[in-house]
């Protein structure tokens, strides 16, 4: 049974997950926003540029050598193997620093897999200039 419907939004594919949440595809990964975030902006962001700004949040940055919290990285790798959509990480960008509300481990895994771009739900009061610096392109 096909559980999603396809449509096209520029170069990011959009589909519908369980006929409730849209699915967007970017760099070979399918994404959905959390249900509580559907009214918030969605951006395609360059992972390497985001990573440079994220490193400035030293208490929460996850390097490629860092395992993060418990088994979260491996659990996400296992989730990806199942082919399910990934919930978009939620970030805020202020004064040249990226702060995560959620999704640090997902971002670290996809960065370490060599993905170039990811989709992120972005706080609506984020710094627009900083978003442009990390290649932020608003999807919705």
CA–CA separation, 110 and 26 (whole Å): 12
Residue 1 CA from chain centroid, whole number: 27
**pTM of the complete model beyond 0.85:** no
Bridge partners of 30?
25
pLDDT (0 to 100) of residue 20: 75
Q: Is residue 120 part of a domain?
A: yes
pLDDT of residue 127: 92
Those residues whose C-beta lies under 8 Å from the C-beta of residue 110, and which sit 6 or more positions away, are: 29, 47, 118
1 domain-assigned: no
Q: How far apart are CA 6 and CA 24, in angstroms?
A: 9
- Which tens digits make up the pLDDT trace of 76-108? 999 899 888 999 999 999 999 999 999 999 999
Instruction: Give pLDDT, residue 4.
Output: 35
Q: What total number of domains does the chain contain?
A: 1
Tens of pLDDT, residue by residue over 32-69, are 998 888 899 999 999 999 999 999 998 899 988 877 78
5 band by pLDDT with thresholds 50, 70 and 90? very low
Query: Which range marks the domain in which residue 13 is found?
Result: 6-138
Q: Which pLDDT does position 1 carry in this prediction?
A: 26
**35 Cβ contact list (under 8 Å, min separation 6):** 20, 21
Residue 84 lies in a domain: yes
Residue 12 bridge partners (DSSP): 9
């Amino acid at each position: 049974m096909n559980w999603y419907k396809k449509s096209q939004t520029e170069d990011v594919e959009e589909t519908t997950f369980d006929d409730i949440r849209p699915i967007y595809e970017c760099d070979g990964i399918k994404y959905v926003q959390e249900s509580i975030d559907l009214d918030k902006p969605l951006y395609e962001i360059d992972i390497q540029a985001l990573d440079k700004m994220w490193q400035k949040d030293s208490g929460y940055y996850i390097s490629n050598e860092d395992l993060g919290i418990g088994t979260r990285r491996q659990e996400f790798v296992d989730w990806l193997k199942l082919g399910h959509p990934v919930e978009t990480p939620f970030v805020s960008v202020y004064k040249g620093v990226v702060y995560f509300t959620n999704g640090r481990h997902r971002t670290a895994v996809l960065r370490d897999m060599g993905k170039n771009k990811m989709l992120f739900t972005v706080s609506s009061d984020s710094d627009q200039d900083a978003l442009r610096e990390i290649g932020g392109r608003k999807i919705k």
